[in-house]
Amino acid sequence: MDKAPLVVVGDALLDLDLDGRAERLAPDAPVPVVDDPTERPRPGGAALAATLAAVLDRREVTLVTALARDEPGATLRRLLELAGVAVVDLGLAGPTAEKIRVRADGRSLLRLDRGSRPGGVGPLGDAGRRAIAGATAVLVADYGRGVAAEPGVRAALAERHARVPLVWDPHPKGPDPIPGARLATPNRTEAARFAAQVAGDDLAAVTARARVLAGRWRAAGVAVTLGPSGALLVQDDGAPLVVPAGAAPGGDPCGAGDRFASAAAGLLADGALPSEAVAGAVAAATAFVAANGAAAVGRQLGPPAGSGEGAAPAPAGATAIERAEALVERARAGGGTVVATGGCFDLLHAGHVATLRAARALGACLVVCLNSDDSVRRLKGQGRPLVPEADRVAVLEALDCVDVVVPFAERTPEAVLARLRPDVFAKGGDYTLAGIPEAAVLATWGGQAVILPYLEGRSTTKLMEEVARRDSR
């Protein structure tokens, strides 16, 4: 089933990471010296939420926002264009807000904010009214800079929300959500500020705050995100639903809230119940953090178009290998590591998913080289694959950790790898380096084959044996 399109409404920011090395202290102060930082711009605020829905969920996305006529605003426009996000611009009378992180070895040392004072937001015009009126779902990603408070925007949202899901990600400096939102998604700290009359910080206090906010905002549901602990959902007077998050060791949590909100809005647009949307959004946010968060998305997009670097996305109708080439070129232009893996992925199971997530965490993008049906038959016998190639591609590409799938007809994917020349080729831990035939071709351009941890006892063969054993009873 095709995914429903999404309209995102809110304040667009420009995020900039300055990534370098810190190997010494400054002679005049006990502060690290960051050598040779690389600038990586990426969409922030509502622009990040829209980008995540477009790039990771592969949705058609329209962003209703206000952009300034300055250089950071032009960069933001190009990044959104590169992500495939359609923009309705209300106009911003003031500078583009920028959040700048100075980082070394994957760790943030300092954050600088520019354009802290919001400028005036222009009125909602006909294009914005049409976008909201035609929406199948709306996400309001409010960053307190005026878009969600604009009277025309609020009137259009009030008119549409009764017919389609409305998810509101609130900000302490922004207005209250439109009454009747399907889901409001404050984080734990925001909920404490919105409902300061409730004391404590345990789950009982979080639940009480969520109930206060659901009543105040007349929201059908309030999901309080709890960082690495997942999320808590309150609906009506029933018991709260707590959805725990999986482990994401060493990940970058920047942008996790936007990933949660964009995933929840998309799932509601596709017909999920709020409880299903929250569970799916927790899983999506966890995978996002494990894959190095918003920084990885910035590397995937690469430098903005017009900067003299980077590459445009593959055109509509491009083949799988052409889409992979465009992805690899964008990742490399942004200084990212290209990761590939390969296999049959017949009857996708937990071991496959764990390996794919671990592989994606190694770099800026993950290409899955998939054995075609004929290739699987040659490797596994005439009874395989159980799942045809088109379905295996669809299932794999539905995973957040997989960027593109390239089928191949040979026994091993050396030809695909030679064309894409990834930096890393990863296989599950039931292999040894000596047993990975692709290692030799990787070495010809300086690539590295690696083995990832493997979940014991998970395999398609064992699943088939278990089904046969039960059928024979």
Left, alpha or beta for 421 (phi > 0: left; psi -120 to 50: alpha)? left
* Helix segments in 91-162, DSSP class H: 126-133, 151-160
Tokens of 264: 């929840």
Beta bridge partners of 108: 103
SS3 content of the chain, % helix, strand, coil (to 5): 35, 25, 40
**DSSP-derived secondary structure for 253-278:** -TTHHHHHHHHHHHHHHTT--HHHHH
Beta bridge partners of 166: 138
Query: Position of tokens 């990586």?
Result: 40
Say how many residues make up the chain.
473
Strand ranges (E), 54-188: 61-65, 86-89, 92-93, 98-104, 107-114, 120-121, 138-141, 166-169, 183-184
Q: Confirm if 137 and 107 have CB atoms less than 8 A apart.
A: no
Beta bridge partners of 173: none
| Beta pairing, strands 92-93 & 120-121 | antiparallel
**DSSP-derived secondary structure for 396-425:** HHTSTT--EEEEESSSS-HHHHHHH--SEE
258 is catalytic: yes
Return d(Cα 226, Cα 320) in angstroms, integer. 38
Spatial CA neighbour of 187 closest among 274, 273, 285: 285
Catalytic, out of 17, 19, 258, 270 = 258
Residues noted as catalytic: 258
